[in-house]
Amino acid sequence: MAWSGGTYTKGNNVSGGWVGDASVGIGIEAGRHDTQDNDFATGINTCLTKDGQNAATADLPMGGFKHTNVATATARNNYAAVSQVQDGDYIWLGTTAGTAIAMTASATPAITAYKAGQKFRMIIGAGLGSTGSVATAATININGIGAKNIVNNEDSTNPTLGTWVAAALMELVYDGTNFRITNDPGGWLTYTPTVTPTAGSASAITTSNSQYRKKGKTIFLNFTIGWTQNTANAGTATCTLPVNANSNGETGSTFINGTFSGWSFINAATTLQITRYDSSAAGFPIGGCSVRFTGFYRSV
């Protein structure tokens, strides 16, 4: 008779078992005994073994109880311990390898495909720094299953130089096509502005506090620059900055008016036009000149 409705019943239970048989004069007969033993075997084989020799053949209701003292999972089809989920084990990639525009990383357990909604966190091994050109997309390849583009979250455009720095923490979420940056992995980067007056020449150029930082598509700038000019310049001087930006932002300073020219990458001759004002005349007079700037621009 074996298992029925979650209860095991032996085969000769209806007759009262062996005691019942004896009470009606039935001796131990081979056929009845074999039937009973086979029934035991069927019942036992229906149970799960604690050493894992057999497997479930249907869903197992837990009746409101839980598995306890579980080991940590090592494969994608294992139960996850709460500690592993809470600690972020499955979304942590460690420090990326490869280059800044072709990163590689490994998830543990290894993923076998990308799926929309996947989230990963990592330490950046190589920053998208302040020199060089990024004319192509930056990618990441996880567990060797294929490179996917890394894009800005707000508009899925390619990141430009300064978007992330080495040793920063970056979080990516796969949208079904690309990995989107969902945090701010940037940091302050230094650069050296240069001055090219539209008239005359500049000498004794000094700079300080020259930094920029990208956050999404916003570029924050700080610089102080001074120089000596040998010819009065009533127009503008060009301060070349390694920053990719346009003029749709806040200058953040009463000392200058600013516009960016060009729609190029950070190091591709993007320039900030600056004009100095004083109480006597517009432009840059002969002698000492200086400009301070703190503000931000939106990048292209």
Q: Which two tokens stand for residue 118?
A: 């996947």
Which of 247, 234, 229 has its CA nearest to residue 277? 234
The pLDDT score that the predictor gives to residue 246 is 31
Dihedrals φ, ψ of 102, to 5°?
A: -145, 70
Q: What is the largest CA-CA distance in the chain?
A: 131
- The model's pTM: 0.68
- Report the DSSP pairing between strands 119-123 and 92-95: parallel
- Report the DSSP pairing between strands 102-105 and 92-95: unpaired
Say if CB 221 and CB 297 are below 8 A apart.
yes
Find tokens 């990163």 and name the residue: 103
- Asked if residue 109 has a cis previous peptide bond (ω within 30° of 0), the answer is yes
The pLDDT score that the predictor gives to residue 132 is 44
The pLDDT score that the predictor gives to residue 163 is 84
Q: What is the 3-state secondary structure (H, E, C) of 163-211?
A: CCCCCCEEEEEECCCCEEECCCCCCCEECCCEEEECCCCEEEEEEEEEE
Find tokens 């503008």 and name the residue: 236
**pLDDT, tens digit only, all 300 positions of the chain:** 566 666 766 666 656 666 777 777 776 676 777 777 777 777 788 888 888 888 888 898 888 999 899 898 899 888 888 888 888 899 999 999 999 999 999 999 999 999 999 999 999 999 886 544 455 689 999 999 999 999 989 888 888 777 899 999 999 999 999 999 999 998 888 777 777 777 778 889 888 888 878 776 676 777 777 888 888 766 555 555 444 333 323 232 222 223 332 222 222 234 444 544 333 345 666 777 776 666 665 554
